[in-house]
Structure formats: C-alpha cells, structure tokens
Structure 1
Amino acid sequence: MTSARALTALGALGVVAGGLVAAVTGPMDWTKGSWAAAYLVLVVGVAQYVMGRFRAVDDGDDRAGWVQLAGWNLGSALVIGGTLVTTPLLVDGGSVLLVVALVLALRARVARVPSAAALAYRALLLVLAISIPVGMVLSHLRS
C-alpha cells in the first residue's frame, strides 16, 4: 500500500467517524461533540482524503507521504484529545505535527494536475495553515 492510498482511506474513515460522532452527540448530550464531529469530517476526513489524492500524483519518495500521514493523524489525535480534556499543550503539540504534515503536503509534486486543481489544493492547505494558530489561540483562551 502506498502512503497516498492510506491517506485517502483514512480520510474516508474520518468522514464516517465524524458522522458517527455527530449521530451520538445529541442523545449523549456531549457539549464538544459538534466540534469533534466537524473536526473529524473536515480535517481528519476531507482534508486528508484530498491530500491523499494529490499525493497519488507525486512520483517522488514515498517516505515523505508516510511522514505526512503519521503527522496528520497523530497531530489530529492530539488536537482532539487536548480539546476534549481541556489541555492546550496537547493541542499545541498536535498543531506542530499538523504544520509538519502541511509542509510535506505542500512539497508534493503536483505537476501533472490541472492548474486550477493545483491552485484549489494549495488554497485548501492555506486555509488549514491559517486555522492551526487560530485553533491554538482558542484552545488557550478556553482553558
């Protein structure tokens, strides 16, 4: 299995997990459930799926893809866990891993992708990069 396939598969699983979390949020009266569901769907799911699709056209070294996958998923787990237990330092540590993964995602060679798609991909990465420090600040303000 390639890192691109693993990123794509884990992204799809993230969307499903987010849907499941959303389904139990109301009945369990989980106050942070809506946030967790959105994070799972949008960051762990959709963003990772897209990164996997773009990593698939990168014919370079697959080790960077595996580091990207590890950083994105471990970082996301730390952000989610740190948010749920109100521990901003966990969120900060996870955020650092997310930044490393984003840098690797940006470095993926997407020369064979139409320019509009490559531009949209880079815009997604920019939105994610901007959201990381915002999330860190909110984590500290809420604790």
Structure 2
Amino acid sequence: MTPARTLVALGALAVVLGGLVAAVTGPMGWAKGSWAAAYLVLVVGVAQYVMGRFRAVDAGDDRAGWVQLAGWNLGGALVIGGTLVTTPLLVDGGSLLLVVALVPALRARAGGVPPAAVLAYRGMLLVLAVTIPIGMLLSHLRS
C-alpha cells in the first residue's frame, strides 16, 4: 500500500467515523460531540482524503508521504484527545504534528493536475495552516 492510498482510505474512514460520532453523541447530549464529529469529518477526513488524492499524482519520495500520513493521523488524534480531556499541551503537540505533515503535503508535485485544482489544493492547505494556531489558542483559552 502506498502513502497516497493509505491517506485516501484513512480519510474516507474518518468521514464515516465522524458521521457515527455525530449520530451517537447528538442524542446523548455530549457537549463536545458535534465538535469531534466535525473535526473528524473535515480535518482528519476530507483534508486527508484530498491530500491523498493529490499525492497519488506525485511519483516522488514515499518517505515524505509516510511522514505526512503519520503526522496527520497522530496529530489529529492528539488534538481530538487533548480537546476531549481539556489538555491544551496535547492539542499543542498534535497541532505541531499537523504542521509537520503540511510540509510534505505542500511539497507534493502536481504533475498533470489542472492549475485550478492545484490552486484549490494549496488554498485548502493554507486554510489548514491558518486555522491550526487559532485552534491552539482556543484550546488554551477554553481550558
């Protein structure tokens, strides 16, 4: 299995898990359930799926892809865990791993990808890069 295929598979799985979290936590009235579901779907799921699809056209170094995969998933897990147990330092550590994972995502080559798709992809990475420190700040303010 390649890093690209694994990113795509885990991204799709995170979208499904996010839906399940929403379905279970809504009726239970779990305060952080909607946040956890949205984070799983949008950040861990959709963003990772898109990064995997983009990486699939990059015939470059698989090591960078595995770094991206590990950083994104471990980082996402730490952010979710740190938020649920109200531990901003875990959120900070996870956020740093997400930033590390954004580096190979940004450096992935776009051979044969239409310019508009590359622009949209880089725009998504920019949104992620901007929102990571905002999430860190909110974590500290809410604890």
- TM-score, length of structure 2 as denominator length: 0.99
- 1:57 is aligned to 2:57: yes
Note the alpha carbon deviations across 1:12-44, whole angstroms, 9 max, x for none.
000000000000112221100000000000001
Q: Percent identical across equivalent pairs?
A: 85
Trace 1:36-115 onto structure 2 (pairs within 5 A): 36-115=36-115
CA distance in 1, matches of 2:139, 2:3: 31
Question: 1:49: how far off?
Answer: 0.1
Q: CA RMSD in A?
A: 0.5
* Unaligned residue ranges in structure 1 (runs of 5+): none
- TM-score, length of structure 1 as denominator length: 0.99
Counterpart AA for 2:6: A
- 1:125 is aligned to 2:121: no
* Unaligned residue ranges in structure 2 (runs of 5+): none
Q: How many residues align?
A: 143
Question: 1:94: how far off?
Answer: 0.2
Question: 1:111: how far off?
Answer: 2.7
Note the alpha carbon deviations across 1:54-82, whole angstroms, 9 max, x for none.
00011111110011000000000000000
Question: 1:48: how far off?
Answer: 0.2
CA distance in 1, matches of 2:39, 2:26: 17
* Helix, strand or coil at the partner of 2:111: coil
